[in-house]
Amino acid sequence: MKRILPLLACLIPASWLPAADQPMSTPGDQMLADYFRNETTVLAQRCLADIKTLEDWKSRREEYRRQLQEMLGLWPLPERTDLKPVVTGKIEHDEFSVEKLHFQASPQLYVTANLYVPKKLEKPLPAILYVCGHSRQFTNGISYGNKVGYQHHGAWFARNGYVCLTIDTLQLGEIEGLHHGTYREGMWWWNPRGYTPAGVEAWFGIRALDYLCSRPEVDKERIGMTGRSGGGSYTWTVAALDDRVKVAAPVAGITDMQNQVVDGCVEGHCDCMFFVNTYRWDFPQLAALLAPRPLLIANSDKDTIFPLEGVVRLHEKVRRIYRLYGAEKNLGLLITEGPHSDTQDLQVPVFRWFNRFLRNEQPLIEMAAKKFFSPEQLKVFDQLPADAVNKSIQSSFVAKAEPVSAQAVLGQRDSLVASLKEKTFGGWPAEDTRLEVKSALSVERAGLRFSAWDFGSQHGVTLRLYILESAAGMPAESVALTVLDPVTWPAWLGAVRVGFASELREELDRAGGAASAEQPGEFEKLKSELAQNPLALAFFAPRGAGLTAWSGDARKQTQIRRRFMLLGQTLDGMRVWDIRRAVQTIHFVREGDTAKIELRAAGAMSSQAQLAALFEPGVRKLAVEPWRDAESGGADYLNLLKLLDADSLSRLHSLHGQRP
């Protein structure tokens, strides 16, 4: 049975972040919500804030463009290889023809498309690159490409004197790729690889412009670009990177970080909508790169995944850049009534915009955009090419770092660590952020001293460090700091409650049903280690574990991680920072003590401890599991595998993490 389903980017968001006057499920939930609000505010306040004059903007614009290329996985720009265009068929209409074609954006990376060409063609015409949104066009298990769902746009443009190239997207084209790596496939290794399908879609658009410019029917100086939803998003990135787009009208494809992170709209979008936010942008910075070219920002007022308020805030910041150019007449804001839908109310003003700026005409729009063809008629391939890499492009689109010899690692250690700090951990707070250490408890019992210290990992993130040591004798010669995770936290709590249950009432109350029963055997092991070695035992759970655990099922945990991702962070990367701060807290509370620190960790916390050790000279020894990169199920860190291969990371750890 034939089934043609329109598809939003994913699902309408069901945000877990409530309004400020609504209670949170746990203290950890409240802390996390406050954290996201604060971090989002920081990005919003600094977005374009240092641009005071046109010279300020012009002096930074090319670097911003380069940064965007990098965050899309397009720096350096891939080689413009032969497109190898092939026209597989042609459909005739009374007013226009439609060529069914494909080209290769890179070798074996196919783009399927339809080219709409007017019958009346006496000279080169203005052209439109139309990029499609998420429209799933399937019949009997065969994908016809989302170009079928948006064919009415191509037909309208051709009937009104434009050449229009409508291209399929990676996931919803005739050759199905993937947009949902972090959203539902658990492919967190996309972050360390610096990969986003938004980069592939941008590359499709750039190569589509190359193809349009190769056609004799096209006036290369009059090219416009539009699309809605996902197509709106790709219009933003392509037009920001490529000045051949003279006029743009992205529809329902962008909003600001507040909508995405705080209001939860990220939950309604797959990964193709976002760049890897290495440089911690808010989205108006992307939008401003289109200035001073004619730009119409179009949206509807009841769009739940691109809310009105965020679109208006973004427009206001972009308008300031247009003002610097004296080009406010080139910037339009179109708000229509309705939901996230391809309505005529949105279509007609977009058509008028291109007539105005590409044809210097403003005729009355009397013709509706209509679909004329069946999906079968517009299909490009009779049989899909066997050599296509579309399905696996995420594994090769962004190059991995080349291996570095042991000698080179030794010589480049400082620069490699600096690169990690800039490209992987750019979301960390300033190094001089105050710890704000406060004593939470201190008790001596049965020859043991048990203390707890609260410290500020960063603004709004308060964590607790526990220290268990002998109450007699000289200070310990070393401190063994164990990093606890959501699995090991209850077991540790079950051990120390044997001796200090009354002092751990807060921890036990928060743990609730997850609290382990008393484990006398484990507590005896801790006591034995202290008796046999001149050390102190410290324990610490980073954000999201222990006292700051947040609630929610697997889907919610995924969306929490994606929020960090949008902020130019990862949860694992911020836990590295938490470990660093725990190490610093040990030195703070043991002022004058020269004890060396040994970091102990298991599972995903092992890589976090290893990376923390690179930045903390007080860590002299590591007791961790072998490194596992994200592709093997390990933790994820932005751009890590673009900077260093696994062997080089191991060498860095051996040089820096374990000191005599």
pLDDT digits (tens, 9 = 90+) for 533-583: 999 999 999 999 999 999 999 999 999 999 999 999 999 999 999 999 999
**Kind plus residue range of the DSSP H or E element containing 249:** strand 247-251
Contact 441, 468 (CB under 8 A): no
Tokens describing residue 128: 């439109």
Residue with tokens 């309208």: 156
Give me the phi and psi of 209, to 5 degrees please. Answer: -65, -40
Whether 8 has a pLDDT exceeding 60, the answer reads: no
Place of tokens 């409530």: 18
Q: What is the pLDDT of residue 628?
A: 82
Q: What are the pLDDT digits (tens) for 618-657?
A: 999 999 998 887 777 788 999 999 998 878 877 776 664 4
Whether residues 135 and 275 fall in one domain: yes
pLDDT of 109 higher than 50: yes
Q: What is the mean pLDDT of residues 603-617?
A: 93
Least confident of 59-73, 236-250, 527-541, 634-648: 634-648
Kindly state whether residues 301 and 219 are assigned to the same domain: yes
pLDDT at 206 over 50: yes
Is residue 615 in a domain? no
Same domain, 432 and 300: no
- Domain containing 276: what range? 74-364+385-390
What is the per-residue pLDDT across 424-478, written as a single tens digit (0 to 9) for each? Answer: 999 999 999 999 999 999 999 989 999 999 999 999 999 999 999 999 877 788 9
Classify residue 186: in a domain, yes or no. yes
Q: How far apart are CA 377 and CA 100, in angstroms?
A: 9
Are 353 and 475 found together in one domain?
no
Question: Of 550, 572, 600, which residue sits at a domain end?
Answer: 600
Q: Domain boundary residue among 572, 600, 628?
A: 600
**Cβ-based neighbours of 622, under 8 Å, separated by 6 or more:** 598, 599, 609, 610, 613, 653, 657, 658
- What mean pLDDT do residues 414-423 have? 94
Shared-domain flag, residues 97 and 196? yes
Question: With 90 as the cut, is the pLDDT of residue 15 above it?
Answer: no
Query: For the segment 315-339, what is each residue's pLDDT rounded down to a tens digit?
Result: 999 999 999 999 999 999 999 999 9
Share of the chain above pLDDT 90, in %: 85
Residue 641 lies in a domain: no
pLDDT band at 409 (very low <50, low <70, confident <90, very high): confident
Measure the CA–CA gap between 570 and 544, rounded to whole angstroms. Answer: 13
DSSP 394: G
SS3 letters across 420-431: HHHHHCCCCCCC
pTM score of the predicted model: 0.95
End-to-end alpha-carbon separation of the chain, Å?
Answer: 70
Instruction: Mark 610-633 as b/e (b = at least 16 C-beta within 10 Å).
Output: bbbbbbbebbbbbebeebebbbee
pLDDT of residue 345: 97
How many domains is the chain built from? 2
Q: What angle do CA 649, 70, 421 make, to 5 degrees?
A: 40
Per-residue confidence (pLDDT) for residue 514, from 0 to 100? 57
DSSP-H helix ranges across 246-374: 257, 283-288, 308-325, 344-358
Kindly report whether the peptide bond that precedes residue 292 is cis, defined as omega within 30 degrees of 0: yes
pLDDT single digits (tens) 131-190: 999 999 999 999 999 999 999 999 999 999 999 999 999 999 999 999 999 999 999 999
Based on the fold, state whether residues 494 and 355 are members of the same structural domain.
no
429 and 313 inside one domain: no
Q: 125 and 272, same structural domain?
A: yes
Tell whether 266 and 358 lie within a shared domain.
yes
Residue 454, in any domain of the structure? yes
Least confident among 111-120, 481-490, 642-651: 642-651
pLDDT over 70, % of the chain: 94
> Is 304:268 a contact under the CB 8 Å cutoff?
yes
Is position 586 within any domain? yes
* Phi, psi angle pair for 188, to nearest 5°: -70, -10
pLDDT of residue 303: 98
pLDDT bin (cut points 50, 70, 90) of residue 12 is very low
What pLDDT score was predicted for residue 536?
A: 95
Query: In the structure encoding, which two tokens stand for residue 288, read together?
Result: 């401003």
For 381-395, how does the pLDDT look when each residue is reduced to its tens digit (9 = 90+)? 999 999 999 999 999
Residue pLDDT, tens place only, 39-50: 999 999 999 999
pLDDT band for 13, please (50, 70, 90 cuts): very low
pLDDT mean over 197-224: 98
Q: Whole-angstrom Cα distance, residue 596 to residue 623?
A: 14
Of residues 214 and 405, more confidently modeled:
214
Confidence of residue 658 (pLDDT cuts 50, 70, 90): very low
- Find out whether 560 and 624 touch, Cβ atoms under 8 Å: no
pLDDT at residue 269 in the model? 98
In a domain, 371, yes or no: no
State the burial class of residue 59 (Cβ atoms within 10 Å of its Cβ: 0-12, 13-18, 19+): exposed
d(C-alpha 280, C-alpha 566), whole Å: 8
Tell me how far apart the alpha carbons of residues 242 and 229 are, in angstroms, rounded to a whole number: 20
- pLDDT band at residue 513, thresholds of 50, 70 and 90? low
Boundary residue ending a domain (552, 583, 600): 600
Give me the pLDDT at residue 347, please: 98
| Mean pLDDT of the chain, nearest integer | 93
Any idea what the CATH number is for the domain that residue 143 is in? Answer: 3.40.50.1820
Let me know whether 354 and 435 are in one domain. no
State whether 434 and 360 are in the same domain.
Answer: no
**Model pLDDT, residue 84:** 98
Residue 171 domain-assigned?
Answer: yes
Token pair belonging to 227:
């699309």
Give domain status of residue 203, yes or no.
yes
In this structure, the answer to whether residues 306 and 162 fall within a common structural domain is yes
Q: Angle at CA 201, nearest 5°, toward 114 and 345?
A: 65
- Place 512 in a pLDDT band, splitting at 50, 70 and 90: low
